[in-house]
Structure 1
Amino acid sequence: MTLHLSADAPVSVAPQKYLFGPFIDFFMLGGSAFLLLPILFLVPLKHEGLVAGVTLLLANLINHPHFAHSYQIFYRNFARKVRGDGYDRNLQIRYIFAGIVVPLIMGAFFAYGSLTGNARLLGYATNAMGFFVGWHYVKQGYGMLMVDAVLKRKFFKDQDKKVLLINGYAVWLFAWLQTNAVITERQFWGLDYYTFAVPPWVLNIALAIAAASSAATVVMFVNRWRKHGGTLPYNGVVAYVVTLYAWILFVTINPLWLLVVPALHSLQYLAVVWRYQTNVERDRADAVKDPEFKVLSILGPRYRLRVLTFIIAGTILGALGFWLVPMALTALVPYDKQVLGSSLFLFIAWIFINVHHYFLDNVMWRRGNPEVSKYLFR
């Protein structure tokens, strides 16, 4: 989630202390890292394979629906968004660009690379995915802090927000450069790609900037804590810190941790999306009525059933987008597997969804989006 929300929420928005509750917010927004990381370090070597399989399965079950939910929300009433009905001109253009132009450009890129058998060109897409995923993580961590600040009515000044953003970009850029410190050949779904050589002096400068911005962020948090009677939007702070340092900078600290992080990132996203969707469904005229079928009355009012339907639909769409459709295309569409690998369409689907997801969220969760103001903070 690329949240561009400002903590300067309008006073007319009713305050809400938590998305779901103090413990659930802490766990879903990033606090689960403090519980899981120590456990992963204690896993005996002989059980690492089993734990890796379980964590990878859980990551898929949590990670893929979070991508699907972004499509469900973004393309809901998309014609109205394209027309600009209820959206300002700037937001209308962003919806058109992210929803139509970006997928067309990406589709043309993958089509050209596949039809010409240009494996090296397609490999660059993997580098792009790594670039955008890191950027996306940073903006989501920052966004979670802003959301929690609004809910707790502990707003950040513009200067403080600049410190947070600069630090986020500095840490992410250093981490990304660090992965490209030497030219190495790697594979993603059977297709080779290359990282870029980064001179040591560039890496040292990036490290110095990241360290300085981190120190400035600590000072800013301490000053705010003192000025506001020893309080902060703690769950948001945890989300910001964990995202930058545990999920980006030190993500390779443990091989199992590398597998778990995408699931935790998705859990963070789902906390906001599920709250948002719950408020959308509660806004319907018949939200509190019992379900039509009596057998479903155990679930409570209709809005709960609709939220559950939204989650199930996201799970199915995630499975289709990441696995079922690309696997079917790989089996049915002939191409040069010696050049492009045995899983071309899995390669395309995973990169397309990951990169496009960044552009979708960059539009949906912006300050000024009327739906965000209406449904996220109520």
Structure 2
Amino acid sequence: AEGQEPAAPAAEPPPAPSGQRGWIISPAIDLLCVGGLSLLVLLPWVLLRRRITIGQIALLSVLINMPHFLASYVLLYRNKEQVLRYKLASIGVPLALLAYSVFAVASASHTNVHVANFAAFAGLYLAWHYTGQTWGMIATFGYLSGRPFDGLEGQLVRGGLRVLLVWHVCWFLYVGRAPFFPPWLQASIDQAYAILSVVAGASLVLG
């Protein structure tokens, strides 16, 4: 309208950082490292209905999980300042888990509820952990490509991941079928799992 100042042009996304071309090592290696390799290995295994043994699980844990955890521990415990900055993660949570582990083992001869709680906690935590990692990778590669997510776009992407988070928790409870769950609670979990499977599928299609 006359007399009004023209609207400011939309801000351009920042260019990819100097020396980077939208990837960390190379497009192919980055794709494999952020999850592509796991799909190439595990998807055929699942489709061929191969059963995995305890020994194979242990071997995969040694080759994949332990280096991953050790790298995380190095980042967290690399110096005193880092430990004090994240006292809850570096001191509080490990001590709480250790104390509960001792309690769970000591009471295992009377009840397995506390041991089962560890599995439940792992399922809940991993749901948050995996979706958080996924958002971190999406945001990182968006930035490296010079196309970071704006406020609404980022919220929509993270919203889709939170749907997956809730589905992951329901899937874990649905598959686990804890014996100490009352029938009405397990029935509610089954219904929630069925509904969330549809919602998660729609979220995946919509992107």
Amino acid at match of 1:27: L
Partner of 1:14: 18
Find out whether 1:105 has 2:110 as its counterpart. Answer: no
Secondary structure at the aligned position of 2:72 is classed as helix
Partner of 2:114: 121
Q: Is the 8 A contact 1:15 1:152 kept in 2?
A: no
- The within-5 A match list for 1:200-211 is 200-211=190-201
Match of 2:144 among 141, 151, 160: 151
Partner of 2:162: 169
Find out whether 1:31 has 2:24 as its counterpart. Answer: no
- The within-5 A match list for 1:1-378 is 14=18, 16-17=20-21, 18-33=23-38, 35-37=40-42, 39-40=44-45, 48=50, 57-77=59-79, 79-81=80-82, 92=85, 95-117=86-108, 118-181=111-174, 184=177, 197-199=186-188, 200-217=190-207
Cα RMSD, aligned residues only = 3.4
Distance in 1, matches of 2:192 and 2:53, equals 37
Secondary structure at the aligned position of 1:181 is classed as helix
Q: Is the 8 A contact 2:123 2:172 kept in 1?
A: no
TM-score under structure 2 length normalisation = 0.73
Question: How many residues in Structure 1 have an aligned counterpart in Structure 2?
Answer: 189
Task: Note the residue ranges of structure 2 that are not aligned, 5 or more in a row.
Answer: 1-12
Secondary structure at the aligned position of 2:186 is classed as coil
Q: Is the 8 A contact 1:135 1:172 kept in 2?
A: yes
- Of structures 1 and 2, the one scoring higher in RCO (CA 8 A, sep 6+) is 1
Tell me the CA shift for residue 51 of structure 1. 9.1
Cα deviation 1:163-208 (Å, max 9, x = unaligned): 111111212322331342377358xxxxxx8796141443344234
Distance in 1, matches of 2:164 and 2:143, equals 25
Tell me the CA shift for residue 212 of structure 1. 4.0
Tell me the CA shift for residue 98 of structure 1. 0.9
Cα deviation 1:92-112 (Å, max 9, x = unaligned): 3xx011111111211221122
Task: Note the residue ranges of structure 1 that are not aligned, 5 or more in a row.
Answer: 1-8, 84-91, 187-192, 218-378
Call closer, same or farther: CA 1:198–1:130 in 2, change over 3 Å: farther
Amino acid at match of 2:197: L
Call closer, same or farther: CA 1:198–1:103 in 2, change over 3 Å: farther
Cα deviation 1:214-239 (Å, max 9, x = unaligned): 3432xxxxxxxxxxxxxxxxxxxxxx
Secondary structure at the aligned position of 2:174 is classed as coil
Distance in 2, matches of 1:97 and 1:10, equals 35
Distance in 1, matches of 2:201 and 2:47, equals 29
Partner of 1:262: none
Amino acid at match of 1:158: G
- Indicate the percent of aligned positions where both proteins have the same amino acid: 24
Q: Is the 8 A contact 1:163 1:216 kept in 2?
A: no
Distance in 2, matches of 1:25 and 1:129, equals 27
Distance in 2, matches of 1:194 and 1:116, equals 19
Distance in 2, matches of 1:107 and 1:153, equals 44
Call closer, same or farther: CA 1:23–1:203 in 2, change over 3 Å: closer
Distance in 1, matches of 2:83 and 2:65, equals 28
